[in-house]
Structure 1
Amino acid sequence: MNRRELLKAAMAVPFLAGFSVGGVGTALAEAGSKLAGRLRSRVRPGSPGWPSATQWDVLKQQVGGRLLKLQSPFADRSSPAYAEALKHLDNPFYIGDQPALTQTSGWAKAWTSWPSTYAVAAESTADVVAAVNFARAHNLRLVVKGGGHSYQGTSDSADSLLVWTRHMNAVTLHDGFVGQGCEGKQAAQPAVTVQSGAMWCDAYDAVTTRGGRYVQGGGCTTVGVAGLIQSGGFGSFSKRFGTACSNLIEAEVVTADGVARIANACTNPELFWGLKGGGGGSLGVVTRLTLRTHELPEWFGAVIGDIKASTDDAYRALIAKMVSFYQSDLFNPHWGEQIGFTPSNVLHFSLVFEGLTQQQAQAIWAPFLDWVRARKEYSFEQPVKVMALPAKHFWDAEFFEQHLPGAIVRDDRPGAPRHHALWKGDQEQVGWFLHAFKSAWLPASLLQKDRQAQLVDAIYESSRHRYLGFHFNKGQAGAPADAIEAARDTAMNPQVLEAFALAIIAGFGKPAFPGMPGPDPDEARRNKESVDKAMDEMLKAAPDAGAYVSESDYFRRDWQQAFWGSNYPRLAAVKRQYDPDGLFFVHHGVGSEEWSEDGFTRKA
């Protein structure tokens, strides 16, 4: 207990004339003991202090009956719910509609997706306020879930109260938006306001498909808007339009005191800064966000294909050619997404571009592809295709179903919204059980001519152990100056400003929710070992590389430095200001070092 809390405890003890010194001391000790228990240990079902049925009923009335008692659909294998859940296990929209499930089913030796005891299915800010006040008053573990995509398990916890925002999903376009309190200080700008339960497919449908503009969001269409923004956020075209959080204009957030606050550059500016990349679930419950929208380019496009080298030496040469080609022709705002390097000596392309016609993109790639074709040691496992489409159709499910149906997967349930679709390549993540996941920001200095050989060696050696993905859109080096400056004014690790890519290496297995067959421990161990070895090779070229908080190692020890770098002290100060008692806890979130791994016990 700190001094301030001890003094508060002392002030709470009635001082009556005639009390003996010993009596006052005893009363003070008892009050201090009770306060210490309240501050240092959250309550669980069945323990003293857990709310009574009557108290839960009061909360239920406050939230219009939208208090749910949760049970996993996999809890009873003989139940219809179990069969229904298995039927839709590859459908992220179905999983997102289940308050007891998360998009990731767990992580080996780290966490498993257990449902909360109760959930408030919030439909308004008032519902969120009621849930926050109830959790604070009763010393409950509080969890927040919108999209439920967290790899770190931050959107679920057993024995907790869940604030579930799925049904808060309205999207509103603005021709000219000015933040509250910013009148006369900021010019009105085109924007979109999105409630915190919306997914990016909801935002893209309103802003781009129907609105003809662009909003910087996530690449995976089923990711929640609020979670991505708070973690920093990258989408396919963030090399042009900046990080998602740097496009935030304003947020409404319910803080630990149960107050719904507006946060922007003029009102609660430090809270606003912390929400821009400070990590979801640590500073409050975001209920809505307003993001700037941009003029939509005429064309978006993609480059896909696979090139195989017949020998290890040929593969190393192919990697060197690719690195040189990227530096000279692709290291600019037009290009994003991924190139993959495999143990089987295949170079995999899954890139996107913006602001170029198909002919312009083909001309850029022609010299590289001619170089490949001229050498017998290379073959095309999948022909490298360069294609473009009108940008307004990039998230148009109807357009893709007509022209490229294999690229998307729809929500197949009756009555599902027509725009609810995801990229086929993202379906492997639905319900997956992680064995290992690591990321590293790679500095643009590695692209300099005198360092390319070092980068090539690291890529080649890393790819001997595991598939290695370079996500070029998840580094801001090469972006326009205004995008870099906007990202600088966020809580993210400043390394992102100088990174040309985020290297990602992962291992995973099929879904393993509680009640289902568990993961294969030998497979998990082998995957973890290979991921560790692969990342160790990459870090020889970038030994001080930070990591992206949403895509990172659960077991990372230097997480404060890795996720936020020099911004962490300021971020910790924001946490102390708006959540001094630590109501909001997530694994490796700001302030979490003060709590046990499960977030139930404050450390001495």
Structure 2
Amino acid sequence: MSTRHLVGVAAAVIVAAAIAVGSSSDSRPNSQHNCRIIPGDASWPPTSVWQQLNKTVDGKLIATIPIAAVCHTTLFDQSNSLFDQDACNALRDNWNFPETHLPSSSSPMAYPFSNNSCNPWLDPRTPCTLGSHVVYSVNATAVSHLQAAVAFAKQHNIRLVIRNTGHDYLGKSTGAHSLGVWTHHLKSIGLIAAYKGTGYTGAALRVGAGVEAIEAYTFANRHGLVVVGGNCPNVGLAGGFIQGGGHGPLSSRYGLAADQILEAEVITAAGDFITATLENEYSDLLWALRGGGAGTFALLVSVTVKAYPELRVSSASLTVLNDGTNADALYASIGSFIQTTLPSLVDAGGYGCLGRGALRLHDQPRLRAGSHLDHLLLPALQTFKDKGLQYQYASAESTTFLDRYNELQKTASWNVSDYNLGGRLVPRKVAVNDTANLMAAVRYISSRTLMSGVSYNLQKGVSSADGGAVNPKFREALFGISIGTAIDYQDWAATLAAQDQITNELLPQLEKVTPDGAAYLNEADYQATDFQHLFYGEAYPRLLAIKHKYDREGLFYAKTAVGSEEWAEGPDGRLCRNPEYRK
């Protein structure tokens, strides 16, 4: 049985398989105003109520069985008929790839957010439990399904979680004892040939919440257009990516993905299906959705985004090896590259990905609209040559963005479940004027673990500074640095310690050189204690006011999202009002 088929089988078990988790008669007290209910509470809905919800959503209710259940002989305290060692081995072989988790309504790509509850690498006799997986999910394919999920969660005081593709390093798309809303199959996509609105007239696409980047790129290409999306082909365009800002290969030319939003169809906490535009009474909500973070203001159904004429795109790959004797020259050359070549490159519409591990610098790929990429990179190549560094370089050009993008995907590897994550934005002024201290921090981190950087100029394509809720410091960045420490599937304590290393040792090296700095909220450290300032900056007070306006009772909750400080997760995973929070 293939891993993809296996995941599909596990995700298709409806209602009855997981009903046992709610059968306890425990009557632990909780208040609707203070805590969400969890399985075992007397008020947890009985089987008949879940079955009625299943009918309401046209049989789309999924009872979670973790995809790693095939690796365990015990499931939910019962003998597990799904146990299959061959299937488990196949799952392990493909565990780190997003395609393994995409067909699941519950599996976190960032493994730590499962709370180690159903680990495919542990002894088969280790029980498989729900842990921090959602208890049920509504596989939404219609607006009515989304409204039913919102109404059910409100009526029964159950934690609600929104999940699209599951590309999520901050734990927003999963949560213990919750009802999930799975938007991955909202795949509508349509062309608006001549959109007319405030500040924009031109082509646009209306895309459902489940449309992935490659699907949007392909549709746009058929109509001679391009749209701003992400690097990874199966990241959802409309969802956490775009609501968190969203940078991608065309961002230095057209701005962030959030800058492209013209309209947003959403379900509010009140259950209303509305369209937010700059011209109507929901313009403040649209502002928040344009970079203020996902999972907290409303439930996204679709977005309308700007589309641009097709263009020629070139790319280049540069690899420089650390042979153990050339580290000083290597880091000096990287510093020179960041200080001199990189600003010119992004100002010309370029966008780059740099990776630095223990043995190599890999600059791959570097996309720019138009030609002459070789000319822009020539100074950097000369620097490496002058320093006596051996390098490999190649470049190519395509007549369409999609052709070049697809070529680059042939050598790309999108492992998503290998690492804990943390990140920091590097302002242009720091990169150019304080290069030595920046490179000292980079050298410290990269000698201990993996790190990568993505470079851009995000000043372009922005109609006004008030056009969206993106942290203003994001606009000032020349690049963002991401840090990854390895997940140890055999040692849960070591995995948690590796995240702590990012928080307490590695990121502070960058914080020293970027005081009063910022982080890209989609690729940041979820343990950041000052996330309000770090992720959202000066936009946070306005965002919090909008959150309270549209979701006064806090139905929509996500880790590090706006308003999340008003809640706290207990040792048992129960979500309760934070007693230490004061408005």
Between 491-500 and 575-584, the greater mean CA deviation after superposition: 491-500
- One-letter amino acid of the counterpart of residue 502, structure 1: G
Structure 2 residue 185 is the aligned partner of structure 1 residue 167: yes
Deviation at 1:246, TM superposition (A): 0.9
3-state secondary structure, aligned to 2:151: helix
Deviation at 1:300, TM superposition (A): 3.4
Between 141-150 and 62-71, the greater mean CA deviation after superposition: 62-71
Structure 2 residue 356 is the aligned partner of structure 1 residue 368: no
- Identify the match of residue 601 of structure 1 among 571, 576, 580: 576
- One-letter amino acid of the counterpart of residue 117, structure 1: V
> 1:145-180, CA deviations, whole angstroms, 9 ceiling, x for partnerless residues?
1111111111112221111112211211221224xx
Structure 2 residue 202 is the aligned partner of structure 1 residue 224: no
Check conservation: 2:430, 2:438, Cα contact below 8 A: yes
Rounded Cα–Cα distance in structure 1 between residues aligned with 2:67 and 2:200:
50
Deviation at 1:451, TM superposition (A): 3.1
Rounded Cα–Cα distance in structure 2 between residues aligned with 1:563 and 1:530:
17
Rounded Cα–Cα distance in structure 2 between residues aligned with 1:270 and 1:527:
36
Check conservation: 2:186, 2:208, Cα contact below 8 A: yes
> 1:538-592, CA deviations, whole angstroms, 9 ceiling, x for partnerless residues?
2222122111111111211000000111100100001101000001111111111
Between 212-221 and 110-119, the greater mean CA deviation after superposition: 110-119
**Which residue does the alignment assign to 1:31?**
none
Rounded Cα–Cα distance in structure 1 between residues aligned with 2:117 and 2:249:
29
> 1:438-459, CA deviations, whole angstroms, 9 ceiling, x for partnerless residues?
21111111244x5333333333
3-state secondary structure, aligned to 1:203: helix
Deviation at 1:342, TM superposition (A): 4.0
**Which residue does the alignment assign to 1:51?**
45
Check conservation: 2:189, 2:206, Cα contact below 8 A: yes
Looking at both structures, which has the greater relative contact order when contacts are Cα pairs under 8 Å and sequence separation is at least 6?
1
Rounded Cα–Cα distance in structure 1 between residues aligned with 2:495 and 2:163:
30
Q: 1:121 to 1:84 in 2, by over 3 A?
A: farther
3-state secondary structure, aligned to 1:228: helix
Rounded Cα–Cα distance in structure 1 between residues aligned with 2:355 and 2:405:
27
Check conservation: 1:73, 1:81, Cα contact below 8 A: no
- Identify the match of residue 441 of structure 1 among 401, 425, 433: 425
Rounded Cα–Cα distance in structure 2 between residues aligned with 1:75 and 1:237:
40
Deviation at 1:530, TM superposition (A): 6.6
- One-letter amino acid of the counterpart of residue 265, structure 2: E
Check conservation: 1:300, 1:391, Cα contact below 8 A: no
Q: 1:240 to 1:582 in 2, by over 3 A?
A: same
Rounded Cα–Cα distance in structure 2 between residues aligned with 1:522 and 1:557:
21
**Which residue does the alignment assign to 2:286?**
272
3-state secondary structure, aligned to 2:174: coil
Rounded Cα–Cα distance in structure 1 between residues aligned with 2:346 and 2:163:
36
**Which residue does the alignment assign to 2:65?**
71
3-state secondary structure, aligned to 1:394: helix
- One-letter amino acid of the counterpart of residue 228, structure 2: Q
3-state secondary structure, aligned to 1:601: strand
- One-letter amino acid of the counterpart of residue 526, structure 2: Y
- Identify the match of residue 102 of structure 2 among 79, 82, 96: 96
Rounded Cα–Cα distance in structure 1 between residues aligned with 2:116 and 2:529:
14
Rounded Cα–Cα distance in structure 1 between residues aligned with 2:502 and 2:47:
50
Deviation at 1:385, TM superposition (A): 1.4
- One-letter amino acid of the counterpart of residue 379, structure 1: Q
Structure-to-structure mapping, 1:307-346, within 5 angstroms? 307-308=321-322, 310-327=325-342, 329-344=344-359, 346=360
Check conservation: 1:338, 1:470, Cα contact below 8 A: yes
> 1:514-548, CA deviations, whole angstroms, 9 ceiling, x for partnerless residues?
xxxx4464466357537753332222221221111
Check conservation: 2:428, 2:478, Cα contact below 8 A: yes
**Which residue does the alignment assign to 2:475?**
497
Check conservation: 1:586, 1:592, Cα contact below 8 A: yes
> 1:166-224, CA deviations, whole angstroms, 9 ceiling, x for partnerless residues?
2211211221224xxx5xx566421111111121111111112x222111111111112
Rounded Cα–Cα distance in structure 2 between residues aligned with 1:102 and 1:211:
35
Structure 2 residue 233 is the aligned partner of structure 1 residue 255: no
- One-letter amino acid of the counterpart of residue 305, structure 1: T
Q: 1:189 to 1:282 in 2, by over 3 A?
A: same
Q: Which runs of 5+ in 1 are unaligned?
A: 1-33, 409-422, 513-517
Structure 2 residue 106 is the aligned partner of structure 1 residue 106: no
Higher Cα Rg, which structure? 1
Identity of aligned residues (%): 25
Structure 2 residue 463 is the aligned partner of structure 1 residue 470: no
Rounded Cα–Cα distance in structure 2 between residues aligned with 1:224 and 1:53:
33
Check conservation: 1:243, 1:487, Cα contact below 8 A: no
Deviation at 1:339, TM superposition (A): 2.3
**Which residue does the alignment assign to 1:425?**
413
Check conservation: 1:249, 1:291, Cα contact below 8 A: yes
- One-letter amino acid of the counterpart of residue 246, structure 2: G
Deviation at 1:229, TM superposition (A): 1.1
Rounded Cα–Cα distance in structure 2 between residues aligned with 1:289 and 1:213:
17
Rounded Cα–Cα distance in structure 2 between residues aligned with 1:534 and 1:326:
26
Q: 1:387 to 1:211 in 2, by over 3 A?
A: same
Rounded Cα–Cα distance in structure 1 between residues aligned with 2:117 and 2:46:
29
Q: 1:81 to 1:336 in 2, by over 3 A?
A: farther
**Which residue does the alignment assign to 2:227?**
215
Structure 2 residue 514 is the aligned partner of structure 1 residue 542: yes
Between 565-574 and 364-373, the greater mean CA deviation after superposition: 364-373
TM-score where L is the length of structure 2: 0.83
Q: 1:111 to 1:533 in 2, by over 3 A?
A: farther
3-state secondary structure, aligned to 2:107: coil
Rounded Cα–Cα distance in structure 2 between residues aligned with 1:108 and 1:95:
13
Structure 2 residue 446 is the aligned partner of structure 1 residue 452: no
- Identify the match of residue 389 of structure 1 among 385, 398, 405: 398
TM-score where L is the length of structure 1: 0.80
Between 500-509 and 142-151, the greater mean CA deviation after superposition: 500-509
Structure 2 residue 540 is the aligned partner of structure 1 residue 572: no
Check conservation: 2:503, 2:528, Cα contact below 8 A: no
3-state secondary structure, aligned to 1:489: coil
Structure 2 residue 153 is the aligned partner of structure 1 residue 138: no
Deviation at 1:491, TM superposition (A): 1.3
Check conservation: 1:274, 1:571, Cα contact below 8 A: yes
Tell me how many residue pairs correspond in the alignment: 522
Q: 1:343 to 1:187 in 2, by over 3 A?
A: closer
> 1:226-276, CA deviations, whole angstroms, 9 ceiling, x for partnerless residues?
221111111122111101011001111101111111111112001111111
Deviation at 1:109, TM superposition (A): 7.6
Deviation at 1:80, TM superposition (A): 4.7
Check conservation: 2:247, 2:257, Cα contact below 8 A: yes
3-state secondary structure, aligned to 1:501: strand
3-state secondary structure, aligned to 1:572: helix
Deviation at 1:81, TM superposition (A): 7.1
> 1:347-370, CA deviations, whole angstroms, 9 ceiling, x for partnerless residues?
32123222232xx22222233323
Deviation at 1:371, TM superposition (A): 3.5
Runs of 4+ in 1 over 6 A off after TM superposition: 108-113
Alignment RMSD, CA only?
2.8
- Identify the match of residue 194 of structure 2 among 165, 169, 176: 176
Structure 2 residue 298 is the aligned partner of structure 1 residue 290: no
Check conservation: 1:281, 1:584, Cα contact below 8 A: yes
